[in-house]
Structure 1
Amino acid sequence: MKIGVEHTHRVDLMPLEVGWELLWKSMNISEENELQSLRNIGIEIVRKCGCLPLAIKVTASVLASKDQTENEWKKILRKNAWYQSKLPTEIEGALYLSYVELPHHLKQCFLYCSLYPEGHAIDRDDLVRLWVAEGFVEEKQGQLLEDTAEEYYYELIHRNLLQPNGSYFDHSECKMHDLLWQLACYLSKEECFVGDPEPLRHTSMYKLRRISVATEKDMIMLPSMDKEQLKIRTFKKLSDVSFVVDHSLLKKLQNLRVFDLGGSHVRSIPSSIGSLIHLRLLDLDGTDISCLPESIGALKNLQILNLQRCAYLHSLPLAVTQLCNLRRLGLRDTPINLVPKGIYKLKFLNDLEGFPVGGGSDNNGKTQNGWKLEELGYLSQLRRLYVTKLERAAPCSMDAMLKQKRYLKVLSLRCTELRDSKYSEEDVRNIEKTFDQLFPPDNVENLFIGGFFGRRYPTWLDATLSSVKHLKLVDCKSCLHLPPIGKLPMLKYLRIEGATAVTKIGPEFVGCWRGNPRPTKAVAFPKLEWLIIEDMPNLEEWSFVDVEEEAAEMQKLEASSPFLQLLPRLKELYLISCPKLRALPQQFGQETTSLRKLQLSRTGSLKVVENLQLLSETRVIESCGSLEKVSNIPQVRELLAKDCPNLRCVEGLGSLQQLCLTEDMKKTSSWWVPGLQQQCRQLHGEDLDVYTALETKRTPN
């Protein structure tokens, strides 16, 4: 499901009144008096926008940054940007105005997005790093450049100049609307090139500063030009092509700031890489390199070194510790084990995506078999940290090694799963103690725990994590109970996957135990919007409350004062691969007032799904072999069904507008589709929209 600006063509023209309503709603104007005083000038602005939804939305973003007065709005109407005749017709007027009204630093960032091909997905974190490396980000006292750049990213989304992907709860992926992409390309056409660089050999390149390679060719070659003529600052590869990086190529690119070869079939990097003294970003993500030359230490301006997903890279050169301005070292999903001592020298390092734990010395004490946990204590600017191989950690003496890191926002703690043996009792005790010592600072927003083999979750995994918005617990296979995280005040996204030892989810999940003193009223998961429960093969029961205790409490309280309010903001629930679960918690039908989507996949023991009074948009059921009945879901508007051979009754779906069935459901659905059709005609005076699909939608990230 995607949100954002609409794909705009002339067929999308709006009536003036509808356009005016879109304008003020996009600005969140609610005062009647304010609306009336601005209506006439607002109608004129909508007319200037050609009644196009995208133009209206970006203009609303411009107006929102001004005082809401007639004089200010008239100033916008008189802007010369509306009449820029040199622009192509499709991008003149409102779209160009939205660019002109941007602050200078946002103009650079917006134009930079033209380096991605039309319709290409743009990753927030990659874009932030590129902006930092290009020097677009202004310094703010007490704030890292990356945090400031992230503010720029969300400001462009807020202004409707970037279109977020709704599958990502935090909008960490986006695209550019095709017309805005055309605008950015037009305005940056002399400095930026996107496509196959082969034709450039026939054109003048002295103004060209950025090349983004996007081609279907298997091999690419840069045009033969002297380095005096070639002043490329950014070379970015977006296609899966073979590419040779040799001395002659690097000699041409002496002015490079950004060298992005991610995904290329590059096998080696020559020692002459050290001659690129201006280089700030080197991205070798997913390449075939097996080593890096020691000459990399000469790159004193290098800020970002991406080495993730390099399957053949097992060691880092000693010279890495000489990169005195390094801000990011990306090692995730790369089998690096042999690392240089002295990572503490990298004082500006704030993004360490891959910290293999170990500590055994080698090579005359200059390298070691992984880093010791204590070495993290010296890296005071850490913003993102991914720690791996934690099973090799010895409990250390620094209990507060993470607690004092005031910039830390993203924390990933991972252990390696043993395939041929099991961890010993001593190993279990050590890992529990190690994790207890790794308690995060209050400012952590994104937390991942993976492969943890302790029998209990860390003691700090409770309501004390006051800033956590995004939490993933993956393959914690030995914990018998889920942690008490229902009181996390800011949690918006929760994924629990691979908790194979859990047989029952009970009150402990929301932080309630029998006999505990609790307030008269409480809210469990107060801000949670996405909940994904996946791969829990032994889960049989799920309830948020102790039924006996709840009944006793309710006798003491007025009927209008429920003891526990549950999931008031939950929008989407995914329950996947829980074959023994017999029933959903009844609270889902009674209290989840915001629930709009429910997906049940491979939940083979569920026989009945009913009484979901508040589910409002989409219901997905697939591979539920025992499911016999779906009933009393009065507000749901769309139902998708796949591989449910025993589904014989579907009723009480009074708001249903669309029914999606896969091929395997045609015979089974003949039992209940006619009844749904009749109900739709009676209630809505039209036929139910029944269509066929090949697969269901994926879960959000």
Structure 2
Amino acid sequence: MASILDYLVKSCAKKLEAIITDEAVLILGVQEDLKQMQRTMTQIQCFLDDAEQRRTRESAVNNWLSELRGDMYYADDIVDLARSEGGKLLLERDPSSSSRKATSTCSGLPFLNCISPIQKRHKIGVQIRDFNAQLDKISKLGERFLKLENMQPKPQALTVKHVRTSHLVEPNLVGKETLHACKSLVELVLAHKGKKPYKVGIVGTGGIGKTTLAQKVYNDRELKGTFSNQAWICVSQEYSEISLLKEVLRNFGVPHEQDETVGELSSKLAVAITYKSFFIVLDDVWQPAVWTNLLRTPLHAAARGVILVTTRHDTVAHAIGVEDVHRVELMSADIGWELLWKSMNIDEERDVENLRNIGVEIVHKCGGLPLAITVTASVLATKEKSEREWRKVAKRSAWSRGNLPTELRGALYLSYDDLPLHLKQCFLYLASYPEDFRMSRDDLIRFWVAEGYVEEHEEQLQEDTAEEYYYELIHRNLLQPDHLYADHSWCKMHDLLRQLAQHISGEESFCGDPQSLGPKTLSKLRHVSIVTNKDYAALPNMDKEMIRARTLLIFSTKRSSVENTIFRRLSCIRVLDLTNSSI
């Protein structure tokens, strides 16, 4: 949280510095109050490095950080309000009067017309002064229990710019063990292609390479043309039956209507597959019902077919009726080391040998998980290829960071911790998307710019800078590009990395049905994604002053209608995406 706060404080202080002399602020007469806010923020910045080291051990630090986070967002809202209301007053004033005159007089305006601008200035001034008092209080509290004498600035990670993905290392790089497993599974599929249907499973823990292996099988040349229809379906924990059936139909090239029911879609699938053959991959299955209750009946109409299931749980594979299971094991030290250096595109044999000992040590810290190894390789790629630099990475405290679920510790958190601050914000923003959702590069670029995450550079558009951010996240293996698009303009996020983003975001982001949230929880959210299969998308009833969301995304399976009061209740909105809804 401290790193996020560091970004928020710096961003807000920078914005304050830019607008303090702005004409829109001068007309409000709050220049000195904003300067005081800026000074206090500069002081608070000194506390954050120490807070990062102590926040998992001391509840007082955690509470202080949580309160500060809310205050920083509120400060940013106040700055935007001052700029907005000041701008309105500039438009309303007599255009012939000077800026200085307008800040102190309503000369030339009828008395009743003068009251409104005075009230606006007074109201905003009171808000800023009240907030300054709160900010001063939290600053003194931090000064009291955080150590300032041993603070050292945290070194920033190198930013590696990659604006063309042709130079990226192949993310599905695999070793001999995976190639052998792929060959065995393809042989099983071909041997049972005449059955109705044959079910085969790939089982293993998260991040171990189940999806990578399934992709190799799915794209194997020997299977091309063997079946009438092929489909790759990401199931996820909370799948929508309607969306899943539509995805199968889309893969099979069968058109469907937007508002069709599960029954209608199921019947359409049965007709489309009658007397034909199919090969379907059901990736990341958590519940057997996706087969037993949803797909088994319509697919029974096919003459023959094969279903390849990937899951973390033997019980799921057994309940689906899988006949053969391939269990993916953890990588050995040698195979893991090979994956590490090949992922970094190290081609000098001397470097491979010189770095082998520390490399194997790092592979052990990754627990033999391919996902952990590849994201760690991306961290190492930003450092010098020397044992000294790699040992620094191996000794980083991020490996043993507490207060995280076991599966998110170590390499996964390290990959986040190594990001520059601006990329951390962009990464955490992805927690707003549903699991296995295919994200658009162009949407992310626009959203990041609107949220203020993108740095400004002379002679370069912010959108171009945001595009560099996008490709750097791909290069760091934190985003998985869709290889159907040569420019990698669409991507997904591994479910473990998404869980990491959600965990770190905490009370800041929510993706689901907000009707399940209480007012207190909703008031803390800054990014809200409504995921629904209902006819109506809405936020819970509460005072609009309590809704501080900056992002509202709607993901609907049936183009849900949006409540007509929702726009008046989103006073802090910066990103609004109603693409999947009906207005």
* Structure richer in strand, relative to its length: 1
More relative contact order in 1 or in 2 (CA 8 Å, sep 6+)? 2
Output the TM-score relative to the length of structure 2.
0.44
* Structure richer in helix, relative to its length: 2
